[in-house]
């Protein structure tokens, strides 16, 4: 069974990586799908994010990193994936993610969303928090993979 783990991953955090590492134990293949959202102004280009994710998931043989535009369910159909993998941190995530899961089912009833509760040590973590800390010179080495921390520090230096 193939699962799609969609997101902007700008940047990928240790929380995202935790979901990926746990997801590969549940599914035959996990496709980490970097969404190209023209309404967002990302810190890293789509190509940079793909390369960052490939590097920090290189130890996982059943992970593929790809990108897409448009609707997640259309990408899932294209990749013949019937599962969308999503991480949940806090209650407000659940409300938003449940709404998205229901919406996706109205678009394609062949897709299911599987939620993984984020490990408690990452329950506060978001890409936005990482960027905010880095912007003001704080340490992010405990929040993102080492290769990503170097890229972020280079960006803000």
Active-site option among 8, 22, 25, 40: 40
- Catalytic annotation on 16? yes
Torsion of CA 135, 18, 83, 97, to 10 degrees: -50
Q: Find out whether the peptide bond into 88 is cis, omega within 30 degrees of 0.
A: no
Whether residue 58 lies in the annotated active site: no
> Is 142 one of the annotated active-site residues of the chain?
no
- How many residues appear in the chain? 157
User: Which member of 16, 49, 86, 131 is catalytic?
Assistant: 16
Rg (CA), the chain: 15
Which of 49, 86, 89, 131 is an active site residue? 89
The single residue of 49, 86, 127, 131 carrying the catalytic annotation is: 127
Q: For the range 100-105, what are the long-range contacts, defined as Cβ-Cβ under 8 Å and sequence gap of 24 or more?
A: 104/72, 104/73
Q: Among all residues, which ones are annotated catalytic?
A: 16, 40, 89, 127
């Amino acid at each position: 069974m193939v699962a799609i783990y969609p997101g902007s991953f700008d940047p990928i955090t240790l929380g995202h990586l935790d979901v990926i590492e746990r997801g590969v134990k549940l599914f035959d293949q996990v496709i980490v799908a970097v969404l190209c959202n023209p309404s967002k102004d990302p810190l890293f280009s789509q190509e940079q994010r793909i390369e960052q994710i490939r590097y920090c998931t290189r130890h996982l043989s059943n992970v593929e990193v790809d990108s897409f535009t448009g609707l997640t369910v259309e990408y899932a159909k294209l990749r013949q994936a019937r599962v969308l993998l999503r991480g949940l941190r806090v209650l407000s995530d659940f409300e938003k993610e449940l709404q998205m899961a229901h919406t996706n089912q109205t678009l394609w009833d062949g897709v299911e969303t599987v939620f993984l509760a984020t490990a408690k040590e990452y329950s506060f973590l978001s890409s936005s928090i990482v960027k905010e800390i880095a912007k003001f010179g704080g340490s992010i080495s405990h929040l993102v993979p080492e290769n990503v921390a170097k890229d972020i520090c280079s960006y803000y230096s």
